[in-house]
Structure 1
Amino acid sequence: MKNWSILAAVMLVVALCPYSAQGIDRKKKEVQPKTTKVVLGKYDELFKNKAHVVAKGGFMTLHKVDGKLFFEMPLKYMGREFLLASTVTSATDNSICVVGYKPRTPRHIKFTLLDSMVCLRNVNSKMTYDKGQAGLEEAMEKNFGDPIVESYRVLAYTPDSSAVVFDMTDMFTKDESSLSPIMPNSGGILSHSASLNKEGSMLTEIKAFEDNVSIKSVLSYLVTTKAMGMLTVKKDDPLTTRVTRTLLLLPENKMRPRITDSRLGIFLGNKVYVSMEEDGIQKYSVANRWRLEPKDMDAWKQGKLVEPVKPIVYYLDNTFPESWKEPLREGILRWNTAFEKIGFKNVVQVRDFPLDDPEFDPDNLKYSCVRYIPSTTANAMGPSWVDPSTGEIINASVLIYNDVIRLINGWRFVQTAQVDPRVRAKKMPDDVVKESLAYVIAHEVGHTLGLMHNMAASAAYPVDSLRSASFTQTYGTTPSIMDYARYNYVAQPGDKGVRLTPPDLGVYDEFVIKWLYTPLPEVEDAMAEVPILEKWLDEKAGDPRYRYGRQQVYARFDPSAIEEDLGDDPVKAGDYGIQNLKYIMSHLNEWLGDDPDGQHRQAMYQAIGNQYYRYLKNVMYNVGGIYLTEVKDGTPGKRFVAVPREVQKNSLKWVIRELKTQNWLTDKELTDKFALGVSLAPTVRYAAAKNVAELYKNVVLSAHVSRDPYTVKEFFDDLYHEVWASTLNNRKLSESEKILQRVIVEVSSEGMEGKKKGLPFLTDEALYLHSGDAFAPSVDEINAYGLDETGMVSRYLDEFREIEQVYGRGFVAAHLENIGNGYGWQRKVTTTAIDDSKVYLQDMLVRVKQLLEGKLSTADKDTKAHYRALILQIEKALKAE
């Protein structure tokens, strides 16, 4: 062992000696300076000798390297919650991608580090639990954790080991469905199928800020668009979009949520609560609202007006027409009146797009913007996006489409031209445009503050009060601008000083702001707030001005909670409205003479027809109608009440009599100047008559819940006597009556034959909704009441009517989609177990057949042919049965 040690020492000396031990090359050599080779770490190797762009912000750094994107995320932010949102920045086709809009709900995510992988997890914010209960936290973590949806290999640590670097390129350059700029394909009216063109897709720009990072990409697609899977609208059309994705760090100090009450129309997020104190797992919801806190709480408690810690700021698009900016600003700022009533000032602010701020980006999730969309869509939208764990609104966008001006001009003309000389023109004057735009933006901003539609509001005021100058100047036309109560179509020619527009804000709107935003510092948590908030609503129970009526789309039960109506009596309001339409029709050529090709007059003529159809439908909803009200036990009101029997009976008679007397809609001197088409009178009569013939389906449920029912038998008796009145009394039939009789027999025969139609392209939900079409809206109702947000039904109305002819009423309605999260639309009720209507339908058809057979011998030639055709159709239906 000793010898081996000596030998090793000798060898070490030889190895360290600069010259050979044998004396070879003993010549003295020049000593070269030593060089130290720098060994790069993995972090530096990632970015060596490459086109490297860095964006370093307050919490995170982005690296763009040779077309790839790397996140450098500090370890201290692992486990923190984020929102990841995608906004359309530009598009080559704005019918598919709307600039400024987020077509997908922002993802609620977090990153965690697991060994050498970064895991992207969806945050499960729906499940909540009693934190004071021992062991429950552990059980919740085991059963309701945050699922991993993606994972990324850690490529390097920063030199100080405080952050990790991982590759996120695919998330922002490939077809990531959760961030797609194209509207989701969810089986609605419109469906898009898109294939990504990889060659036309790339990263473009990265930015980093104090609490968020921004990644911009160009994405190119080939897109095919279909309506209800049947009607091809686009086929492999090229589309290129620029999109901005924002990863926003959510605050650790969460806003206190506010638990909702179904008696108030607010957007919300649904939750589940687990506690052993309750029998079973509980469901509840939290309101969507901005985080509004007084800067000086003591001053606020003393009743002084104080500013909020963080105001709600809307940035106004600089591309708006200049004349629009002032009314848009005025409409937005109206909401400050409501906030002042709860002790806040300067809550809502409007700023122009800053042109000299390098950090400003209207598509970044940090900025809430009002955007101008140059599109033929006649609409406006007010979506918002929230922290799902608390309901805190983080971002809002108001989208104003260019052709909304066409929509409001049409409304103003057909609803107020009888009393307002200013609107008797092809183009509305500036003052009318401005007051209309202010109303539109105020309504949409209401949505971004958390308010849903309240379609019951306009039914709170007596119809005759809407002709009163003193009443309307004080209250407007409705207690809420969140209703679709447009303009005062009740006001008659000669009514002086009557307000024709909705109020700036209604009393209901101000109350919702109070409920949503009043601080309650005297209590400790959200549960302790509930008794106080409930008491505020209890005090308003029974007052129609504060009644909430949810929007009815799939099923329309409640005649007092529909769009485009005014007042508490649709028959009286309809009488006033029809008188006004007749007056406007008689002056159409005079008022719109500056229209050489007649296109504008024809458009207004069609608008008159739509308005008239709405008056008919507003009354029809009474027949089989059921008033619906959210009621708490112990407070005034009932959850559902059938429309009184006499109201239903009189409403049916009113509609049928109207359908017999529509000749005022036919004006040859006017329509001869229009393009070739079918006159309005038979078109409206046919659509309305079909609706009348199917009302018995509604009566089934209404009679079932009524204590003094308008029965199905009575309905058919009234229908028989009203439709066949001239036949029964040996009077000559008018053309109106012939159409009415033909449609009634046609629809009734289909009801008897009970044809089962194929129902392609329906989701499971849509199949359920279509399983019975009682209370479901027809295509014409969808068009008339604006129930289709896409505008496709209106654009292809004739084609959708043909689809409805094949698949039945309710088929198109089943494809309509709910926009936004709230209590949902009023759902349908299946009446199969109580439906004996076919007995009475058959009885009516037998009576009609016998009546017509008895009149054949005395009828004139044309009437005899009409009767024979009806008899044949009835016989076929009865045989099928």
Structure 2
Amino acid sequence: MRKWMFVLLAVMIAMPLSSDLYAASKKKKKKGATAAALPAPKKVSAYDKLLKGKNVVTSKSDFITLHKVGNKLYFEIPLKYMEREILLASTVTNVTSPEFCDIGYKANSPLHLKFTKRDSSIFLRYVSSSATTDNLQKAMSSVYGDPILYSYDVKAYNADSSAVVIDMSTLFTTNVKDLGFFADAMMGGMIKISSSFKKEASYLDESKAFDDNLSVKTVMSYGVSLSVMGMMKLMDDYPFTATVTRSILLLPEDKMRPRISDSRVGIFNSNKLRLSITQEDAIGSYSVAHRWRIEPKDVEAYKRGELVEPVKPIVFYVDDAFPELWKEPIRQAVTTWNIAFEKIGFKNVMVAKDFPKDDPDFDPDNLKYSCIRYVPNSTANAMGPSWTDPTTGEIINASVLVYGNIIQLINNWRFVQTAQLDPSVRTKKLPDDVVQASLIYVVAHEVGHCLGFMHNMASSAAFPVDSLRSATFTQKYGTTPCIMDYARFNYVAQPSDKGVKLTPPNLGVYDEFLIKWNYRYVPDARDEWDEQAIVEKWVDEKAGDPIYRYGRQQIQVRYDPSAIEEDLGDDPVKASDYGVKNLKYILSNLKGWINDDADYSHRQTLYGQIMNQYYRYLRNVMYNVGGIYLTEVKEGTPGKRYEAVPKARQKASLAWVLKQFKDSDWLNNAELKQHFPLHVDGSAIVRDRVAKDLRGLTSNVILSSHVANSPYTVNEFMTDLYNGTWNNLLQGRSLTQGDKILQQAMVDMFCESLSDGAGKKSASPFGFAPSVDEIVAYGLDESGLIGRFAEQFRAVDEEYGRGYVASRMIENRFGTPGYGWQRAVNVSAIDDSKAYMQDMAIKSRNLLKSKLGGTSGSAKVHYQSLLIKLNNALKDKL
């Protein structure tokens, strides 16, 4: 028992110890087992490796999140945005020199793109939108696909694999041509810009992401060289740096209904092909108008005729860099278009806001915002480009650029066109009220472009000339039915006319019609083709009424004398007569009217403007000679598509020009001349320009006579030109300086017809195009480059043929040409002018031979020189 008790006691004593040992042993084993079962250190995801760290700057959004890592930029794109259409635009934010590009401007149209995914690659594709179809989708998709622009490897997925990350650095940090902000060449290659990108001096700057857009700023450096036609190097490896904002905007999935264009209405448009087997037996072409998406908030109220606000107004932000005096008229220029919108049932469509001061998200260079920008350089101009969704023509963004010297341009216009009647402009600095009123007109015109409206150069020809001298008429209508014309200020009004309005209207009758055609809401139409018939009727109703006639701008060729810039009224001869009278009055008072001009520099500038204005009056009339009125006409409505200017008007116009040519000595104001630097008389400069233009009329006369019922033939034109040229010899008058210049020019033209193959100057294939002097006088080059280098460009025209410069200029017009500019007609098949010119050479030689004996002194020397030239050209030709 004791032994048993002893054993039991021993066990009891031992149990705690063995339990502890067991527990310790178990713990030890457990500890060891735990260590063996722990997972390996957590693996860092590719996303975290790429985008986590102190040097990562992230801008997050529901659309595309941006991650900037040093000089690399990563896009985190949700997969739900694959296949969604976007626009990618490049806007210049600031520059180190204003010579090459304009701040606030998009030199290239935004790229219409989309991202697509295939396996582990993301493709950036162009969106093909040039063709549409109703019933041949499969056939169309096989030939109108979306080409790949770039391919990117997927670098990572986000945590839930709903978005991919790709490296987009190359698109923003290298010199991508499609995002360039200055061209390699301008003016059709005549001005050559060579740029070498300096990658080492370029870097990524700020980037921002928002719910439907993003912006990335890049500082880009170049060495730039500039030359004109290879004849003169203006700059060589000039250092240039620009900050450029690239912005991406998500386009809506719910597309705006397009509006099919009508060539009788001056609206910018985009051309398209239509594949259909039910509408036509051929692949048809059509175009869609450029227009903002203006739809009523309350459709039923709109249908009842109530004024309704749009779902989305058109908002323009006004640059805070503008002089304070300019800001209010600029705002008024925007909102004045509301008058027209109210007439079609919309209110508060046009909104002008100042640049927000406390909004860090606002960026005037982001495609999201339409702005009116101040460009502080020496250009005397303004422009109003817009950019669209290419699929529908919906205007997505627009800009008005107002250049620093616009007031100088207004000053010049107002003085030479209205100083005869308005004492307030007879000053070196225009009064504030004149500046503001003029700015409203200038900016409202550019806002009109932003609304989709082209120039309508035929508009001012709808008004009778004498109506422009009526106070009642001009106070109601101004100088033109359409501010999209270049009908500036009232140069017709005479000093005795009281109460006459001297400015264009804020909005004209035709401007209101443009708003109706482009923006009236048509809720009951099924689609754009159903709608087309409705809007077409609006134009049909106005057909034949000159107030509603659209005249294409004639940049490349000049046929129609009623669709010319810088003219007024329906009769160029009568309007120019009034204008010349006013110029003579203004010039006679120029010295006394302008004060605070001790060195006469301002008066010299105005004298140059008087010369240019006089040249325009002569040229406006000259367009009648060989002129053809052009009108877009639909079958069954009034009007003729083309109609030659009546023969009597052509003859009278040529006679008027030749008389003015010889009577232009009034330009040589001796009292002023003594105060100007050394220069050639103004009459000689104008005569030289006009003489060259007279030589270029032959092609117009050929075409005009070809289409006329009662033609003013080339033979009649040459005969009238001959009689006008030798008028002093035929009538026994003394030789004048005007006679000498005209005779020299005409003999040169006659002699060129006798050279082998004829001379370039007389046989230029660009003869319908305006000369360099016309380009400058009529403001056809909005860049101002041709005016700046006019002498060099005149030499180009001399070398390659008159009109060559203009023929190349068309390649550099902003916006979409559409049907906006008249194209040239080849007349070589009907050109028999050479024979008549040669006949004029023979007649001129015979006349000089018969009259030479009765002359003496400098007149005899002049005639001898012309006779020698004609004899040399005619030698062995008969």
**Distance in 2 of aligned mates of 1:230 and 1:569:** 42
- The 1:733/1:51 distance shift into structure 2, 3 A limit, reads same
Contact 1:88–1:181 (CA under 8 A) maintained in structure 2: yes
Partner of 2:787: 794
Contact 2:374–2:404 (CA under 8 A) maintained in structure 1: yes
Partner of 2:63: 59
CA positional deviation for 1:188: 4.7
CA positional deviation for 1:834: 0.3
3-state SS in 1 of match to 2:377: coil
**Distance in 1 of aligned mates of 2:868 and 2:701:** 28
- The 1:459/1:142 distance shift into structure 2, 3 A limit, reads same
- Corresponding letter in the other structure for 1:491: A
Contact 2:184–2:195 (CA under 8 A) maintained in structure 1: no
Partner of 1:743: 745
**Distance in 1 of aligned mates of 2:84 and 2:311:** 24
3-state SS in 1 of match to 2:185: coil
User: C-alpha deviations, 1:90-111, integer Å up to 9, x for none?
Assistant: 1111221211110111000011
CA positional deviation for 1:799: 2.4
**Distance in 2 of aligned mates of 1:451 and 1:589:** 41
- Corresponding letter in the other structure for 1:553: I
Partner of 1:779: 772
Contact 1:104–1:183 (CA under 8 A) maintained in structure 2: no
- The 1:49/1:708 distance shift into structure 2, 3 A limit, reads same
Contact 1:50–1:65 (CA under 8 A) maintained in structure 2: no
3-state SS in 2 of match to 1:329: helix
Alignment of 1:99-118 (within 5 A): 99-118=103-122
CA positional deviation for 1:788: 1.1
Partner of 1:20: none
CA positional deviation for 1:803: 2.5
Partner of 1:74: 78
CA positional deviation for 1:658: 0.6
Partner of 1:260: 261
Contact 2:184–2:194 (CA under 8 A) maintained in structure 1: no
CA positional deviation for 1:402: 1.0
Alignment of 1:424-823 (within 5 A): 424-753=426-755, 772-816=765-809, 817-821=812-816, 822-823=818-819
**Distance in 2 of aligned mates of 1:414 and 1:585:** 9
3-state SS in 2 of match to 1:855: helix
Contact 2:454–2:820 (CA under 8 A) maintained in structure 1: no
User: C-alpha deviations, 1:759-796, integer Å up to 9, x for none?
Assistant: 9xxxxxxxxxx961332111110110011122111112
Please, which of 81, 85, 89 is the counterpart of residue 85 of structure 1?
89
- The 1:475/1:321 distance shift into structure 2, 3 A limit, reads same
- The 1:513/1:618 distance shift into structure 2, 3 A limit, reads same
Partner of 1:123: 127
Contact 1:690–1:747 (CA under 8 A) maintained in structure 2: no
- The 1:121/1:874 distance shift into structure 2, 3 A limit, reads same
CA-based RMSD: 1.8
3-state SS in 1 of match to 2:89: strand
**Distance in 1 of aligned mates of 2:773 and 2:617:** 13
- The 1:340/1:230 distance shift into structure 2, 3 A limit, reads farther
Partner of 1:148: 148
CA positional deviation for 1:594: 2.1
**Distance in 2 of aligned mates of 1:232 and 1:341:** 55
3-state SS in 2 of match to 1:85: strand
Partner of 1:275: 276
- Corresponding letter in the other structure for 1:405: I
CA positional deviation for 1:840: 0.4
Contact 2:266–2:820 (CA under 8 A) maintained in structure 1: no
Contact 2:288–2:393 (CA under 8 A) maintained in structure 1: yes
**Distance in 1 of aligned mates of 2:752 and 2:769:** 17
- The 1:754/1:613 distance shift into structure 2, 3 A limit, reads farther
Partner of 2:18: none
How many residue pairs get aligned? The number is 842
Contact 1:124–1:146 (CA under 8 A) maintained in structure 2: yes
Contact 1:752–1:880 (CA under 8 A) maintained in structure 2: no
Partner of 1:850: 846
Q: Provide structure 1 residue ranges, at least 5 long, that are not aligned to the other structure.
A: 1-26, 760-769
Q: Provide structure 2 residue ranges, at least 5 long, that are not aligned to the other structure.
A: 1-27
Please, which of 813, 835, 842 is the counterpart of residue 839 of structure 1?
835
3-state SS in 2 of match to 1:149: strand
Partner of 2:227: 226
- The 1:237/1:538 distance shift into structure 2, 3 A limit, reads same
CA positional deviation for 1:35: 7.1
**Distance in 1 of aligned mates of 2:874 and 2:486:** 43
Partner of 1:7: none
Alignment of 1:159-558 (within 5 A): 159-183=159-183, 185=185, 187-188=188-189, 190-277=191-278, 278-558=280-560
**Distance in 2 of aligned mates of 1:308 and 1:396:** 18
Partner of 1:38: 42
**Distance in 2 of aligned mates of 1:314 and 1:298:** 28
Partner of 2:874: 878
Contact 1:53–1:64 (CA under 8 A) maintained in structure 2: yes
3-state SS in 2 of match to 1:587: helix
User: C-alpha deviations, 1:226-276, integer Å up to 9, x for none?
Assistant: 334544332211110001111111000000000000000011111100001
Partner of 1:13: none
Q: TM-score of the superposition, structure 2-length normalised?
A: 0.94
3-state SS in 2 of match to 1:483: coil
Contact 1:690–1:744 (CA under 8 A) maintained in structure 2: no
Contact 1:753–1:880 (CA under 8 A) maintained in structure 2: no
CA positional deviation for 1:46: 1.3
**Distance in 1 of aligned mates of 2:800 and 2:687:** 21
3-state SS in 1 of match to 2:219: strand
- The 1:28/1:435 distance shift into structure 2, 3 A limit, reads closer
Greater Cα offset, 375-384 or 46-55: 46-55
3-state SS in 2 of match to 1:474: helix
Contact 1:50–1:66 (CA under 8 A) maintained in structure 2: no
CA positional deviation for 1:57: 1.1
**Distance in 1 of aligned mates of 2:465 and 2:541:** 25
Contact 1:463–1:490 (CA under 8 A) maintained in structure 2: yes
Contact 1:486–1:501 (CA under 8 A) maintained in structure 2: yes
Contact 1:83–1:248 (CA under 8 A) maintained in structure 2: yes
**Distance in 2 of aligned mates of 1:210 and 1:30:** 53
User: C-alpha deviations, 1:592-619, integer Å up to 9, x for none?
Assistant: 1321111110000000000000000000
CA positional deviation for 1:548: 0.3
Contact 1:552–1:825 (CA under 8 A) maintained in structure 2: yes
Contact 2:750–2:840 (CA under 8 A) maintained in structure 1: no
- Corresponding letter in the other structure for 1:243: V
CA positional deviation for 1:832: 0.5
CA positional deviation for 1:758: 9.3
3-state SS in 2 of match to 1:753: coil
Contact 1:189–1:792 (CA under 8 A) maintained in structure 2: no
3-state SS in 1 of match to 2:202: strand
CA positional deviation for 1:867: 0.8
- Corresponding letter in the other structure for 1:257: P
CA positional deviation for 1:181: 2.1
**Distance in 2 of aligned mates of 1:839 and 1:82:** 60
- Corresponding letter in the other structure for 2:521: P
**Distance in 2 of aligned mates of 1:50 and 1:873:** 84
- The 1:339/1:28 distance shift into structure 2, 3 A limit, reads closer
User: C-alpha deviations, 1:640-669, integer Å up to 9, x for none?
Assistant: 000000000110111001101011000111
Q: TM-score of the superposition, structure 1-length normalised?
A: 0.94
Contact 2:463–2:569 (CA under 8 A) maintained in structure 1: yes
**Distance in 2 of aligned mates of 1:29 and 1:456:** 98
- Corresponding letter in the other structure for 2:253: E
